[in-house]
Amino acid sequence: MNFKNLSNEEIISFHLNLIEPYDDDTIVFSSLVAALRDARQATGRNIETGENPDKNNNTLSSNWLGSICYLVILDQLGKCYKAKKDPNLTDLSPIQRCLKLNTKLSDQEIDAIYALRNAFAHDYSLSNKNSKKPSLTHHFTLRGAYTNPFIKIPSVKWDGQNENKSIDNTTIIGLPWIGDFVEDIYKIVSSLHTENKLEIIIPGGAEEIKNRYLLFSYKH
């Protein structure tokens, strides 16, 4: 297969789905698919489908590393794609844009998820401070079950001062829901591509997707 002459549609297909042999010594795969598999494995989900086999007793579904991986997937999808009918929302980060366009979450809930991603990814903590955008300042309590609601925004806003943390200003998130949301968004994006309704929005276009997210691995 000549990967130098792929069409935009083929590149998207490979990005969303690809893990296949390239020649006798190498395989080519998509980092998005690798992230999905890692997230699913870490959270005890079906590796091929992403389904949570036992929502009541799957203790892995709240795994922090798996949750980080799912949030990274949101970043990559939001950076690369949107539905052709949707606005660009260039004032939002990729993860915020992805959630805004593909879920019914409120802006407050979206900012809370973005803040959790920052807290996890930057220093594996449960607090995030942002002096320029107070809506991204949160400290979290994480639940290992399907809490209702998925996210509970506190009635009292945390001011970012550690000595002022309390139960009244903590943001509560049920971690298993994150995997469900991301799996649903992945299916939405894949369906949009199948229906020819998906638009590439990453600045370098399809070539950047190919060069950044389609990877080669040696078998030996």
Q: Which of 69, 71, 63 is nearest to 43 (CA)?
A: 63
Domain that holds residue 185: 3-218
- Burial of 191: CB neighbours in 10 Å, binned 0-12, 13-18, 19+: exposed
How many Cβ atoms sit within 10 Å of the Cβ of residue 21? 11
pLDDT in tens, 65-90: 999 999 999 999 999 999 999 999 99
Confidence of residue 218 (pLDDT cuts 50, 70, 90): low
* pLDDT for res 4: 67
* pLDDT for res 18: 61
Mean pLDDT of 23-40: 84
Q: CA 31 → CA 28, 34, 210, distances in Å? A: 10, 5, 10
CA-to-CA distance for 220 and 210, rounded, in angstroms? 24
Question: Does the pLDDT value for residue 46 go beyond 60?
Answer: yes
Question: Does the pLDDT value for residue 183 go beyond 60?
Answer: yes
Domain count, the chain: 1
Confidence of residue 137 (pLDDT cuts 50, 70, 90): very high
